[in-house]
Amino acid sequence: MNCAELREYVEPLPNVVVARTNKFTCSDSGQNIIKNDIIELDLNRIVVAACTPKIHEPTYRAILMEAGLSPYYFQMVNIREHCSFVHQNEREKATEKAKRLLLAGINRARELEIVPRKEISITKSALVIGAGIAGMNAALDLANQGIEVYLVEKEATIGGKMAQLDRIFPTDDCGI
Amino acid sequence: MVNASKHPNINLLTYSDIINFSGITGEYNVTIRKNTRYVDERKCTGCGLCTTKCPVKVPNEFDRGIGERSAVYIPFPQAVPKLAVIDKEVCINCKNCERACPAEAIAFDQEDEIINIKVGAIIIATGWDEYPIIETNEYKYGIYPDVITQIELERMLSPIGPTGGHVYKISNGKTPQRVAMILCVGSRSLRANPYCSAVCCNVSLKNAQLLKQEYPEMDITIFYIDIRTWDKNNEEYYRNIRAQNVNFVKGKPGDIKLNQDGTMRLYFDMTLEDNVTHMDFDLVVLATGIVPSKGTQKIVDILGLSKGPNGFLSEIHGCLKPVETKDMGIYICGCAAGPKNIPYSVCSALGAASKAATLLSNDILRQELLIAEVDESLCMGCHRCEKTCDFEAINLNENDIAEVDELKCKGCGACVTSCPARAIDLKYYRDIQFEEEIKGICGIEIKLDNTKEEIIN
Amino acid sequence: MDSEGSITWEYLKNVADTLNSYRVRALIDAKDEIINAGRYSEDQYYSILFKMFDEELLKYSLFEFLKTQPIANIEILKEFSQKNSLDIKKVYSLLELLRSENLIKIEEVYDEIEAQGEETPSKLVFRDFKIEVYREDISLVKSIYEPVEIIFDSNICSGCGTCAGVCPVNCLNIYNGFGQIDKDKCIRCGICYYVCPRSYLPVKLMNMYQDNASKIKEYTNIGNFIEVYSARTKVKEISEVCQDGGIASTCLYYLFDNQKIDFALGAKMSNTIWRPEPLLLQNKKDIIQTAGTKYVNNPTLRILNEFNGSNHSVAVVGVPCIMQSLLKSEIYNIGIPSLNNVKYKIGIFCMESFSYQSLLKICEVLKIAINDIKKMDINKGKFFVYTNNGEESSVPIKEISHLAREDCEVCFDLTSESADISVGSIGSPSGWNTVIIRTETGKKLYESLIAKDLIESKPIEEVKPGLPMLQKIAGIKKNGCKKHINEKKEKNLRVPIY
Amino acid sequence: MEAFLNGADGVAIISCREGECNFGDANMNTYKHVKFLRKLFEHIGISPDRIQQYFCAAAEVEKFVASVEDITKKVQALPPLPKRKLTPN
């Protein structure tokens, strides 16, 4: 889609201080641009229109934190999966849709708030459910690191399905 | 097995079920019910004397019903912990065992024990079950006695199994001469499960080899769609067995009929020769697939995890986060997450253990509170949110105002919609945030002074 | 869909606002609970829900309309009623709702008419409303539709039983004349609050409905009426058992006889002597059980749900508070099937009633065992008791009035102003009833009684002490009510909003 | 309703399949609300086709596309709903 057009579209929107297009915003150089902008322009909300938040949202949140901003003042708009991937042959319509999504993202960004965090002291023990070959190995591994492990098995004996096997491939060892 | 049971850092709780779960990463509260064995674990020596005195005989589940066990039994000779257990459903209360036990370990008045524990992380390794072929009677399993599964063959091949390592036809007790093995029963099928069960090819190859070693004259035919032996050394293993005079037929048998002489006739399409034909066999062994265990389903319900369309537990990312679930402190491994061979199961178990240990190596965890929030000035105390919440995270305080339990709330938002007074909002996912988003998607711009709204499209 | 053409954006906006209404939302979510409670079927549930929705929708549209006006008055309300082709009375009722929900403030403007001699003292005449909207956002208002629990707690529950009779989840009941609520079952739909005569009661509006008037005006101490008579029954079975003139029973007798009603609601004596309980009358034989005045209060409307569903016709005989809640629920039609079935409202005069416990105390004062009492009566300011042995004793009302129910202190209504026809003894000679005809329904019924030769009737002017006496006593009750309400207000106690 | 108020002619709610909700049975809770809204739309004279709930898992691409096409078709058959008017100042 037409990224320059998108930038021109969002620039005059209320509250928008700066809009940039950039290849690979998630790269180091892209990250630095955001960081510098936050510091120099005193930004308090960041909207990134790029790929899925599933992968890079943590990356960007980290940048916000580095720049001294709450990581929750960040909003990601997925114009890759939602626009360029699914509307490959309709460039103009895809751009139009991206505008709407961006507008939604910017609108939401205005209302963003800091989410409080709670500090939890971690209980140094683990529960392993199922004492088959996987459960036993996991339990032993943890136990060997000095962690207290509860190994719970619904049957009367541990070993699981593997105890039923006579030999195991490809080594033909005994199953038990 | 013995290592696991003897390790000082492992509290082994067998014959137990998880019955309740709450809390968040780093601080889970789990309630475990230790089902009664009717045998005192501290006194039982595992001598097995009681089992010889018990008058009840039922099919032995461990040996897949080929052998028998009594109502008081030790699952198998190398069982860990080696303790007797009484199956109350079949027990006739004759108390012979009580009289026989030299350690006075039989305790008919024992009751279920409820144990509450606090843990920082959870690993789920609830394993697999065999494809329930008894329900579908594929290849007349359950109808013709000499149609068995690989696990049943496995038990017969075991020197400690019900037949002492010898293979017999169930119908007449003779050693079979012609054995058919059918792969992909219940797997890679449009009628049953679409997925590959990952281990059946190798299991069949291994058992064919064991049979060949025991009975060199035996005719073994393996019917396959594709032989999938993808892991380290497995292809070599396959080549080796192929060289041992085992017959391989590419094509899945379509029908099975019982002949007058007790043998079974398989009809099949030899796809490599384009030839529809049939052959007679004494024993048919089905390589049944792997399905999620019943325990997995139960754990999904109690822990509130998600599972995929095939019923296996879902990881966050199939490639990069294969042992992690959406709940940060809960990890999955082994066949609970999908069919695996043993090395892969062990790898995933160690992966999960490593992930859990990484989490537990921290002293403090910072948890985002993406949870519901109650506006006390609007709350009417109608209890509706309390009834709606699946996680029992909302309760009314003494002033009849709803209170959210930070540890239990999962931030699902069900209470938000249930509140008639609109007193509940979800942090970071507030109604106002969505309303603004909707306005954006609908193309409505908000002017800076916030007083004028304008249509752009 | 064709009808979509007439929908405006403003309408959609009001629909959206209405969906935020506490009551509507409470009902939506409680569907399973309501249907499982077994009182209303799924169809009835939806009809109640949508009726409520429509009512709320109108209310919010009025609110939105008022918001656009700087100062609203009656003219503005008329404009709204014309625009939406609504009865002006309906608009008043919505206004009353908005007021009770604290969304608007209403100031009433009165004209003072100067005294013209002794005969006509100076008085205030209603002229106009001054309506001020002082809340912008409905969704931020804490709902006032609390369950009637607060009414119970503040001792102003009249024990009429309506709430228990309509509750969709059966969480209310009346014990010993006072309400009780099962908080766990309650879904907070506020239906009970809506029908309760002691939560808020639009008195002026109720008189207007009785009168079928479209203007707000002042009424006398006995409310709106068409005609007043003094009458007594000619039906022998009734005259043998009745308290005075037996007119209320005769009305039922006629209605059952002519298949005008399928059921009637009344009070009969329970197994505990002198303790009434509600009765669903099925035919005229049942009337005998209900004849005679009961001085202990009775939650007649509790059994409303016993004829849920089909299109029955029902008459209700009851005291003023019962009539009030019936008329109130008629004005705020909430689609409760059993309330829609009520076709005749026969009111009884009531000065105050006693709880069963206080009746026992009166017996103590009189040194009579309750089981010996044959008949009770209030006459000439005294409470009379006649025993089975033919003895008669009495005590001045003043001495026992502190034993009356506390809630009766806040009741302004002596003559069942909300009924179709009111019956009582005050104003007529002994053995006769004063009958106040209030509505067209009441008038038709009374005319039929005369036509069928079931009663003997005289204009009230022909008997002593007559209407002035009734007006005077009604005035006493009204003033007493005002006094008690002011007292309670001073103590910051909850009072009914009239 | 916010969507309708801001100019949408139809709303599709696409949720996980029955029994596969991440959060217990929130998808079925939503379904209850959608069912009510459809009834309400009928009651106030709006076509219930304007609001639909579809159940499809994240991986069911065809079903998702079919859902979107289904509601688009249904809503396109209906006249547009009234739009918010421009309020001067």
pLDDT at site B455: 39
Residue C202 · residue C413 · CB < 8 Å: no
pLDDT at site C139: 54
Testing the interface with C: which of D9, D44, D51 to mutate, by most C Cβ within 10 A? D44
Residues of B whose CB is below 8 A from C24:
420
- Look at residue B449 and tell me whether its pLDDT is greater than 70: no
Closest Cα of chain B to C297: distance in Å?
31
Interchain pair B356, A138: CB under 8 A: yes
pLDDT at site B450: 41
Could you write out the DSSP letters of every residue in B158-225?
STTSTTTT----TTT-PPPSEEEEEEEESSS-SSS--S--SSHHHHHHHHHHHHHHH-TT-EEEEEES
pLDDT-derived band of residue B452, with 50, 70 and 90 as boundaries?
very low
Interchain pair A128, B125: CB under 8 A: yes
Chains C and A touch (3+ CB pairs under 8 A): no
Select the residue of D5, D40, D46 nearest C7 (Cβ to Cβ). Answer: D46
Task: Give CA B400 to chain center in angstroms.
Answer: 43
Testing the interface with A: which of B123, B428, B442 to mutate, by most A Cβ within 10 A? B123
Chains A and B touch (3+ CB pairs under 8 A): yes
pLDDT in tens, B100-154: 999 999 999 889 999 999 999 999 999 999 999 989 899 999 999 999 999 999 9
Select the residue of D36, D46, D84 nearest C4 (Cβ to Cβ). Answer: D46
The stretch B56-76 carries a mean pLDDT of: 88
Q: Does A174 touch chain B (CB under 8 A)?
A: no
- Burial profile C228-248: b = 16 or more Cβ within 10 angstroms, e = fewer: bbbbbbebebbbeebbbbbbb
pLDDT in tens, C333-376: 777 878 888 888 888 888 877 777 777 888 887 777 777 777 77
Spatial separation of the C-alpha atoms in residues B339 and B199, rounded to whole Å: 8
Tallying the residues shown for chain B, one arrives at: 457
Q: How far is CA C266 from CA C314, C324, D89, in A?
A: 11, 16, 61
- Residue B276, classed as helix, strand or coil, is strand
pLDDT-derived band of residue B352, with 50, 70 and 90 as boundaries?
very high
Spatial separation of the C-alpha atoms in residues B264 and B253, rounded to whole Å: 12
**Is C301 exposed, middle or buried, given 0-12, 13-18 or 19+ CB atoms closer than 10 A?**
buried
- Residue C38, classed as helix, strand or coil, is coil
Spatial separation of the C-alpha atoms in residues B156 and B163, rounded to whole Å: 5
pLDDT at site D30: 81
Select the residue of A126, A159, A164 nearest B123 (Cβ to Cβ). Answer: A126
| Joined tokens for residue C318 | 């009851």
pLDDT at site B405: 83
- Burial profile B272-283: b = 16 or more Cβ within 10 angstroms, e = fewer: eeeeeeebebbb
pLDDT in tens, B269-292: 988 888 899 999 999 999 999 999
Residues of D whose CB is below 8 A from B307:
20
What does the domain layout of chain A look like in residue ranges? 3-110, 125-174
Residues of A whose CB is below 8 A from B442:
100
Nearest to C368 by CA among C359, C377, C379: C359
D54 Cβ contact partners less than 8 Å away, ≥ 6 residues apart: D12, D13, D14, D15, D63, D64, D67, D70, D71
Spatial separation of the C-alpha atoms in residues C110 and C203, rounded to whole Å: 17
Q: How far is CA B421 from CA B82, B193, B402, B416, C139, in A?
A: 59, 47, 12, 10, 8
- Look at residue C447 and tell me whether its pLDDT is greater than 50: yes
- Burial profile B352-384: b = 16 or more Cβ within 10 angstroms, e = fewer: bbbbbbebbeeeebebebbbbbbbeebbbbbbb
Spatial separation of the C-alpha atoms in residues D20 and D55, rounded to whole Å: 10
* ipTM higher than threshold 0.90: no
Q: How far is CA A15 from CA B441, B445, B449, C81, C216, in A?
A: 18, 11, 10, 44, 54
Could you tell me the domains of chain B?
2-115 (3.30.70.20), 129-290 (3.50.50.60), 293-360 (no CATH), 372-455 (3.30.70.20)
Could you tell me the domains of chain C?
1-139 (1.10.10.10), 227-355+405-490 (no CATH)
Please, what is the angle between helix C42-67 and helix C88-100, to 10°? 90
What does the domain layout of chain D look like in residue ranges? 2-76
Pairing of strands C382-387, C392-396: antiparallel
Task: Count other Cβ atoms within 10 Å, centred on residue C366.
Answer: 17
- Burial profile C99-112: b = 16 or more Cβ within 10 angstroms, e = fewer: bbbebbeeeeeeee
Nearest to B60 by CA among C259, A157, C133, C55: A157
Nearest to C162 by CA among C282, C29, C320: C320
- Residue linked to tokens 């991206």: A98
Interchain pair C53, D47: CB under 8 A: no
Interchain pair C12, D36: CB under 8 A: no
pLDDT at site B151: 92
- Look at residue B456 and tell me whether its pLDDT is greater than 50: no
- Look at residue C120 and tell me whether its pLDDT is greater than 70: no
Q: What is the pLDDT along chain A (176 residues), one digit of tens a residue?
A: 788 888 888 887 878 888 888 888 888 888 888 888 888 888 888 888 888 887 788 888 888 888 888 888 888 888 888 888 888 888 888 888 888 888 888 888 888 878 777 788 889 999 999 999 999 999 999 999 999 999 999 998 898 888 888 888 888 887 66
Pairing of strands B16-24, B27-34: antiparallel
C348 Cβ contact partners less than 8 Å away, ≥ 6 residues apart: C248, C293, C317, C318, C319, C320, C416, C422, C423, C424
Spatial separation of the C-alpha atoms in residues B401 and B395, rounded to whole Å: 8
Which residue of B lies nearest to D57 if distances are taken between CA atoms? Answer: B309
C82 Cβ contact partners less than 8 Å away, ≥ 6 residues apart: none
Interchain pair B455, D86: CB under 8 A: yes
D77 Cβ contact partners less than 8 Å away, ≥ 6 residues apart: D49
Could you write out the DSSP letters of every residue in B219-274?
EEEEEES-----STTHHHHHHHHHTTT-EEEES---EEEE-TTS-EEEEEEETTTT
Task: Give CA C133 to chain center in angstroms.
Answer: 29
Q: Would you put residue B331 in left (φ > 0), alpha (ψ -120 to 50) or beta?
A: beta
B149 Cβ contact partners less than 8 Å away, ≥ 6 residues apart: B64, B130, B133, B141, B185, B285, B286, B287, B288
| Joined tokens for residue B19 | 């019955």
Residues of D whose CB is below 8 A from B453:
84, 87
Structure-model confidence comparison of residues C420 and C21, the more confident one? C420
